[in-house]
């Protein structure tokens, strides 16, 4: 498979089954998830629910890879201590 970005794919074409990690799709978002580490309890719920594998885990610590985050807000919605907020994307 050639290295194509999502913008270069033909509409409706599935070249092969894969995860979103093969295509950087972070430029779709209008809002970005931001973690307040002073509130984070390291529960990993955000990592579990992220549909795009944009939340990375290093032990019990998490970080967001904005190359893949589409700004869906699922992580912020599922966070039990509201340590993740959605903030307007700066262009």
| Cβ atoms < 10 Å from Cβ of 75 | 25
Domains of the chain are: 6-88 (3.30.70.20)
Mean pLDDT of 25-29: 81
pLDDT band, very low/low/confident/very high, at 34 (cuts 50, 70, 90): very high
Q: Which position has the higher pLDDT, 7 or 56?
A: 56
Above 70 in pLDDT, residue 46?
A: yes
Rounded to the nearest 10°, the torsion over CA 19, 22, 28, 29 is 70
Residues paired with residue 63 on neighbouring β-strands, in sequence order: 56
pLDDT in tens, 67-89: 989 999 999 999 999 999 999 98
pLDDT for res 25? 80
């Amino acid at each position: 498979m050639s290295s194509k970005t999502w913008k270069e794919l033909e509409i409706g074409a599935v070249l092969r089954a894969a995860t979103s990690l093969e295509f950087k799709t972070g430029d779709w978002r209008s809002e970005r998830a931001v973690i307040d580490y002073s509130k984070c309890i390291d529960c990993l719920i955000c990592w579990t629910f992220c549909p795009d594998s944009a939340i990375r885990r290093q032990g019990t610590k998490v970080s967001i890879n904005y190359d893949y985050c589409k700004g869906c807000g699922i992580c912020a919605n599922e966070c039990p201590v509201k340590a993740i907020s959605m903030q307007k994307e700066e262009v």
